[in-house]
Amino acid sequence: MRRFLVALPVVLALAACGSSTRDLEGPTEPLGNFRIGHIGVVAPNLQKLLVSRDATEVEWINAVTKALTERFSRFEGDKYYHLGISVEAYSLPPPIIPGKSAVAMNVTLWDDAAQAKMNAEPKQIQVIKVFESRISKNREQQLTGLAEEAARLIEVWLREMQETDGWFTGPVAGASPEAVVNTGSQLPPLEPADTPLGALR
């Protein structure tokens, strides 16, 4: 059953000058026993919203995969987890024209040892840059910045779940292959979920 999307939590990234990867320059704070396994990014239902420049599924898959790999390959825990991402909607306004740079995606985390989802329902991540300077940023820079901020917010979510639900603890997983980046073919299929579009319209 579809839900009313306007009630979904909205994450506003208001600082246009702040870098979403600045925190990667310092020491890495461990994330329990987390180690990234597969990263699967898909975009089968990608929608362009508002007044936006075009971006292809491949461009979003590549940008999000790169941002996730850069962020999550830092962790050297002893248990493998897999990330499945479905990019659902975006907005990349051209210069001058009013609008919001934004991306919305659904995120699922799998426990490799248990062969099970960590979150029963996809986590819905939204990045909305209201005050971004589009005069100084081209389309590729907008897209990259949104992907990097989304990756940062996924890490924030995982740390919250570690604190509140005790994620990334427990017995060590058996031998697993090294991290593999792919487009979802080695992950269980991403299940249909409500698209987090309410705040982007």
With tokens 């007044």, the residue in question is 51
Question: Is the residue at 33 inside a domain?
Answer: yes
CATH number at residue 165: 3.40.50
Residue 19's pLDDT is what?
Answer: 66
Question: Is the residue at 20 inside a domain?
Answer: no
Question: Is the residue at 13 inside a domain?
Answer: no
**pTM of the entire predicted model:** 0.79
Q: ∠ at Cα 161 (113, 147), nearest 5°?
A: 90
Question: Is the residue at 10 inside a domain?
Answer: no
Question: Is the residue at 48 inside a domain?
Answer: yes
Residue 155's pLDDT is what?
Answer: 97
How many independent structural domains does the chain possess?
1
Question: Is the residue at 116 inside a domain?
Answer: yes
Pairing, β 180-182 against β 34-42? parallel
Residue 50's pLDDT is what?
Answer: 83
**Which domain range does residue 115 map to?**
26-195
Q: In the structure encoding, which two tokens stand for residue 114, read together?
A: 């248990």
Segment-wise mean pLDDT, segments of 10 residues, the chain, 201 residues:
31 44 80 96 95 95 98 95 98 85 97 95 94 76 96 97 91 52 50 47 53
Q: Which amino acid is at 172?
A: V
**H-assigned helices in the chain:** 57-72, 139-165
